[in-house]
Amino acid sequence: MQIVRYDWAEEEALKIYNMPLLELIYKAATVHRQFHDPSEVQLSSLLSIKTGACSEDCAYCPQAARYSTGIKIESLLPIEKVVESAKNAKLNGSTRFCMGAAWREIKDNDDFENVLEMVKAVNDLGMEVCCTLGMLTESQARRLKEAGLYAYNHNIDTSEEFYERIITTRTFQDRLRTLENVRKAGITVCCGGIIGMGESVKDRIKMLLTLSYLHPHPESVPINALVPIKGTPLGNRGIIQVWEMVRMIATARIMLPKSMVRLSAGRLQMSKEAQALCFLAGANSIFAGDKLLTTPNPEFNDDMKMLNLFGLRTRKAFKESENLQIN
């Protein structure tokens, strides 16, 4: 029996990641069955509510102002557009709706007031509302919670050591501080990272260790495969091998047994067979809808066909297993 642990050692985690592949998948699938209904997958929809012109230098990101990536810059969307998009997502079976803004941090201005209104409106639809708006303070987190925010996404992206090779305009510690503020406000934490940026296996493990030392563990852990974007410093990198994605998901499932592990960016480049292995290895959530924030995602109808083919059902909102535990 696996228990929820906060004391994983690096050696131990590396050993898990490097297990013979099929043994690793079997072990992760076993842990998955212990903590989750393996026939359920959560559908989450993403909407970019403010796009591009970001002041940060995240080497992977199409939305950083300093890279020329050809995306269409847009200021904050009107609330009606956001609600319409959330209603559509709900009709299609999404129970979680995540609004993303290309901000370094939240500022206490009209845009923030409008986002609070959006959170209220989407919460009123009975969906789990999630936001990813950059860094935030304790009082901003409290206001989001009061507006009905259920989850906040803020990724650590990689290991602390590799972080400064990817982003120089903020620190790993800044990221952790925001996560603490989110937790203190009683909002669930969505935090994961990206593989395929040139990091080593040790960096991947260190990222998972950092997540596993958060108490409680993040309720949701997105694992993204880098989507190389022309114009960004990582634009020429190749696509990560499926096996690495499977190993990462399986290791996350074992080390963070209660968390929802989300197979996030990069699905468009994966075959259905590869995605089946990811679900077997413990992924139990995906982003549904034809677009992530700025890049394409598989067609909604194709995803539904795939889930049907695998005999997977979509999960209801606010399920008990994701209940917030406050320290």
Binding of residue 112 to ligand SAM (CB under 6 A): no
Q: How many C-beta neighbours within 10 Å does residue 221 have?
A: 27
- Give the interface segment with ligand SAM, choosing from 90-98, 219-227, 276-284, 315-323 (CB under 6 A): 219-227
CA 239 from chain centre, in angstroms, equals 19
Binding of residue 248 to ligand SAM (CB under 6 A): no
64 binds, among ligand SAM, ligand DTB, ligand SF4, none (CB under 5 to 8 A by kind): ligand SF4
58, 131, 191, 278: which one is catalytic?
Answer: 58
- Give the interface segment with ligand DTB, choosing from 32-40, 179-187, 288-296, 309-317 (CB under 6 A): 288-296
Binding of residue 134 to ligand DTB (CB under 6 A): no
Binding of residue 61 to ligand SF4 (CB under 6 A): yes
Q: Is the peptide bond before 233 cis (omega within 30 degrees of 0)?
A: no
Query: Which amino acid, residue 96?
Result: R
Smallest separation, CB 30 to ligand DTB (Å): 26
Binding of residue 45 to ligand DTB (CB under 6 A): no
Smallest separation, CB 284 to ligand SAM (Å): 19
Binding to ligand SF4 in span 274-313, by CB under 6 A: none
Binding of residue 233 to ligand DTB (CB under 6 A): no
Binding of residue 104 to ligand SF4 (CB under 6 A): yes
3-state SS string over 216-251? CCCCEEEEEECCCCCCCCCCCCCCCCHHHHHHHHHH
Q: How far apart are CA 27 and CA 257, in angstroms?
A: 11
98 a catalytic residue:
yes
Q: How far apart are CA 192 and CA 266, in angstroms?
A: 14
Q: Which residue has the tokens 């400064």?
A: 164
Query: Which amino acid, residue 151?
Result: A
Pairing between strand 193-195 and 313-314? unpaired
Query: Which amino acid, residue 283?
Result: A
Residue from 16, 129, 293, 307 that binds ligand SAM (CB under 6 A)?
293
**How many amino acids of this chain bind ligand DTB (CB under 6 A)?**
17
Q: Which residue has the tokens 């040139």?
A: 198
Q: How far apart are CA 203 and CA 207, in angstroms?
A: 6
Residues that bind ligand SF4 (CB under 6 A): 54, 56, 58, 61, 63-64, 102, 104, 134
Catalytic residues: 54, 58, 61, 98, 130, 190, 262
